[in-house]
Structures are given as C-alpha cells and as structure tokens.
Structure 1
C-alpha cells in the first residue's frame, strides 16, 4: 500500500470513529507512522484536503456498494430491504456502521467548509440517483422517483444516526420493514 492510500485509509477510519474535529494531525501522523513532511507532500492543503479526499473515496466505495445491491434485485423494495438488512447485520457484528458513517462529518463541517459540504452533498446525490434510477426502472415517473429517493436517503441516513446514538439496530430494523412498503405507485 502506498503512503497516500495508507493516509486515506487510516484517516477515514479515525474520522468515522471520532469526527473531523476529534482527530488531530498528530494522531493521523502517528497512526500512519509518517512525518509531517510526508503528510504535506500528499496533502499540501492540510487536514481539510485529506478529509475531502476521504469523503471522495467513501463516495466511490459506498456508491459502488449500493449500485451492486440495487443491480442484483429486480425491484426497489427488494433492493432497499436487502441493503438495510446488510446495514443491520454490520451494526450487530461491529457495533457501528463504519462504511456508511459520514453523517457526523456532515454535521461538524458542512457549515464551516464549502468544499467539505460539496463532497458530502455529492455522496448523498449519488445515493439518491441510484435509488431514483431503480424506481424509474420500476415504472415511477422521474418526479416521483426523485421525491421517493430523497425520502429513502433521509430515512436510511436518519436510521443510521439513530442506531449509533441508541446503540441499537432497532431503528434500521423498523425502517427495513416499513420503508419498502411505502415505496408504491400513487
């Protein structure tokens, strides 16, 4: 693994565990066993530059994961239920949902940094796009699909935050049972 990839991987894990503000540069340097010079060689604009790169990397991973799930199932309802069940299983196994947990970064940084807000927005829009495309393939109009995709994103993201704050998979379990039933043509 090259140094830049190591920094991104370690920093992503730290940001997910402690948030952006809770992780200092020295902690990242120590986790990667690198010097400040090496860090700034790869991220000349500093820690925020690293955060944006981590968010872009998460965007790619999460987008590909969701696409894979949604391409595997014939309907939005089945895909949604499967994806949420996977999140529940991850939470039960690990006590957290690391692969999808970036909401704390959004709440910390979105108002402070336009580039971070844009990186977070891009991920949410990608998720909504996957959901909307699947809904349109199920026969929903573009307008309905976009509205439902927004509701799905908000429900799932909110469910993840509730699971983390309540230390329980119950919120996502309820969403897994309820959300697919709400996805119907009006």
Structure 2
C-alpha cells in the first residue's frame, strides 16, 4: 500500500471512530508514524483535504458493495433484504456499522465546510442512483423510483443511527420488515 493510501486508510478508521472534530492531526500523524511534512506532501490543504479523500474512499467502497448486491439480486426487494441482512449481521458481529454511514461526519461538518458537504452529498446521490435504477427496472416510473430511493436511503441510514445509539440491531430489523413492502408495489 502506498503512503497516501495508508494515510487515507488509517485516517478513515479514526474519523469513523471519533468523528472529524474528535481526531487531531497529531493523532493521525502518530497512527501513521509520520511527520507533518509527509502528511502535507500528500494533503497540502491539511486535515479537511484528508477528510474529503477519506469520504471519497468510503464512497467508492460503499457504492461498490451496494452495486454488487443490487446486481446479484433480480428485484429491488430482494436486494434490499440482502443488504439490510448484511448490515444486521455486521452490527451483530462487530457492534457497529460505521463503515456504512457518514452521519457523524455530516452532522459535524456539513454546515462548516461546503467541500465536505458536497463529498457526502455525492455518496448519497450515488446510492440513490443505484436504488432508483433498480426500481425503474422493476417497473416504477423515474419520478416514483427517485422518491422511493430517497426513502430507502433515509430508512437505512436512520436504522443504522438507531442501532448504534441503542446498541441493538432491532431498528434495522424493523426497517427490514417494512421497507421491502414499499418497493414491492408497482404504481
């Protein structure tokens, strides 16, 4: 792994665990075992530029995972069930689902940094695009598919937040019971 990728990988983990504000530059440097000069060589604009690189890396991993699931299953309903079951399994085995959510970073930074807000917004647009395309292949109109895609994103993201705050997989299990019925109906 090259140095820049290593920095992104380590910083992503720290940001997911502690949030943007909770992680100092010195902590990142120590975890990466490098000097400030090395970090600034790869990220001349500092911590915020590093955060955006981390968000882009997370986005790529998350959207690839979602695309794989949605390509594997014939209907949106089947894909959503598989995706939520995977999230529940991850939560129950690891006690968190931090790799699948940007919420803590968005709540900290969206009002403070337009570039960070845009990076987060891009991820959600990509996810909703995957959902919307699958819904249209299931027979929903473009407009309805777009609206349902927003509902899918909000339901899953909200379920993840509730799981983490309640330390229980029950919120995602509730989403799993109800969300598939929403995408099972044609107009």
Residue 31 of structure 2: aligned partner: 31
Deviation at 1:98, TM superposition (A): 2.6
Per-residue Cα deviation, 1:15-67 (whole angstroms, up to 9, x for no partner): 00000000000000011100000000000000000000000111111011000
2:186 maps to which residue?
185
> TM-score w.r.t. structure 2 length?
0.98
| Aligned 1:144-163 pairs, distance under 5 A | 144-163=144-163
The root-mean-square deviation of aligned C-alpha atoms, in Å, is 0.6
Extract unaligned runs of 5+ from structure 2: none
| Cα distance between partner residues in 2 of 1:53 and 1:159 | 26
TM-score of the superposition, structure 1-length normalised? 0.99
- How far the C-alpha of 1:182 sits from its partner, in A, is 1.6
Q: For residues 3 and 27 of structure 2, what CA distance do their matches in structure 1 show?
A: 16
Number of residue pairs matched by the alignment? 186
User: 1:124-161, CA deviations, whole angstroms, 9 ceiling, x for partnerless residues?
Assistant: 00000000000000010000000000000000001111
Structure 1 gap ranges (5+): none
Give the secondary structure class of the aligned counterpart of 2:159.
helix
For 2:49, the equivalent position in structure 1 comes to: 49
Alignment match, 1:127: 127
Runs of 4+ residues over 3 Å off in structure 1: none
Alignment of 1:155-174 (within 5 A): 155-174=155-174
Query: How much has 1:164 moved relative to structure 2?
Result: 0.7
Query: Could you say which residue in structure 1 is the equivalent of 2:12?
Result: 12
Distance apart, 1:101 and its partner CA: 2.4
